[in-house]
Amino acid sequence: MVIPVHDVNPVRRTPWVTYALLAANIVVFLLTPGMAGSVTGESSLAQLCHLQAFLDQYAAVPRELIHHQMSRLVPTGGVGVGAQGPGCVVGPPPYDKSPELSVLTAMFLHGSWLHLLGNMLFLWIFGNNIEDRMGHIRFLLFYAVCGYVAAYVFALANSGSGEPLIGASGAIAGVLGAYLVLYPRARVWVLVPFLIFLPLRLPAWIVLGFWFALQAVYSSGEGVSAAGTVAYLAHVAGFVAGALIAWPLRPGTPPSPEPRGVLFGRRARPGW
């Protein structure tokens, strides 16, 4: 998988909403119980139980979204000792949860620092141009709509699942879909792992088209283990939603700069 690092596509206005979303995701991650362990690689049982209780309350759960079936017993955040040894204590939920609202809160939750950084990298590179084209308020609504579409499509396909669905991936996939539609020829600097990280400048339609193709293949179960925890179908749904919403904006979209050729190695670095 290529790693995007920068796009050659200037904006006309400051992307305040993109900056705010980046900041909000980072702050929520740092305040999420147990996330310190995901950074250091060490998590105690108490931290894991606290995190599990937090996610059960604020993450989107497919079974809850489709059937409105709330769990009778949920993690309380406490640690106890049972017949099989230490574990997380469960009990009746001490809160009233709105499944619809949980989709929104889940967009700001991430399971690890790598999960967070990957999402924020794509939002940082591609979000500013979509916000520039749509305007601040419309971009924020667009981001939320793509996130909701991604979550509900995934929930429909996994309606019996009680596993929490978290992350901004669905909403950010919508941003990528819109970028592919509006700026297919914009050049994107990427790092290609080939013995070393080789810098290349490629058209957006290659970078994002390849990304979408991988998500589509993985969502079908090909190329990934059955134990995978990534909601690839949510990525596909968000991407398609973003592309469809952005399609009517194509006629009025200013063309992006189109430097000729594909540069790599030492010739590529001065243009970063």
DSSP per-residue string spanning 113-145: HHHHHHHHHHHHHHHHHHHHHH-HHHHHHHHHH
pLDDT in tens, the chain (272 residues): 788 999 999 999 999 999 999 999 999 999 988 775 555 555 677 778 888 888 888 999 999 999 887 777 778 777 777 777 777 888 888 888 899 999 999 999 998 899 999 999 999 999 999 999 999 999 999 999 999 999 999 999 998 888 899 999 999 999 999 999 999 999 999 998 876 788 889 999 999 999 999 999 998 876 554 445 789 999 999 999 999 999 999 988 887 766 554 444 444 444 44
Under 8 Å between Cβ of 182 and 127: no
Give me the pLDDT at residue 266, please: 44
What's the number of CA atoms in the CB half-sphere (13 Å) around residue 88?
Answer: 19
Under 8 Å between Cβ of 49 and 79: yes
Give me the pLDDT at residue 260, please: 54
Give me the pLDDT at residue 212, please: 96
| Residue 30 identity (one-letter amino acid) | L
- pTM (2 d.p.): 0.87
182 Cβ neighbours under 8 A, 6+ residues apart: 129, 130, 133, 246, 249, 250, 253
Give me the pLDDT at residue 157, please: 94
